Amino acid sequence: DAKTTQPPSMDCAEGRAANLPCNHSTISGNEYVYWYRQIHSQGPQYIIHGLKNNETNEMASLIITEDRKSSTLILPHATLRDTAVYYCIVRVGVAGTYKYIFGTGTRLKVLA
């Protein structure tokens, strides 16, 4: 069963920040949150991941609440090429063997 809940769709104006929320209220203490996106049924593309602290890379920022029950992916300046399905994923398993539990994702549409 999916461990994450995301809104099915969102729109964002080009150039504005896209804030994609995710609920993971049943996440365990050692389970990481990962974000991937998928464009036109290509393979999912890794964006960012985190455990407790907020994270930032060249693509996005990840804000995780203190209780770890939810997180937000931020694309600071959305472009048309960011239109995709965004998956918030919990990585489950023990050291050495992991699997991703995918939810249904958020279809983000960036509008010109």
Partner 1 sequence: KAGVTQTPRYLIKTRGQQVTLSCSPISGHRSVSWYQQTPGQGLQFLFEYFSETQRNKGNFPGRFSGRQFSNSRSEMNVSTLELGDSALYLCASSGGTGGYTEAFFGQGTRLTVV
Residues near partner 1 (CB under 8 A) are 34, 36, 41-46, 49, 87, 93, 95-105
- Among residues 14 and 100, whose Cβ is nearest to partner 1? 100
Judged by DSSP in three states, 83 sits in: coil
- Among residues 10 and 14, whose Cβ is nearest to partner 1? 10
Question: What is the CB-side half-sphere exposure of residue 98 using CA atoms within 13 A?
Answer: 14
From residue 1, alpha-carbon distances to 50, 79, 88 in Å are 21, 33, 14
Helices (H) and strands (E) in the chain, counts: 0, 10
- Among residues 18 and 85, whose Cβ is nearest to partner 1? 85
Dist. CA 25–CA 20, nearest whole Å = 16
Query: Cβ of residue 102: shortest distance to partner 1, in angstroms?
Result: 4
Query: Cβ of residue 110: shortest distance to partner 1, in angstroms?
Result: 22
Query: Cβ of residue 78: shortest distance to partner 1, in angstroms?
Result: 22
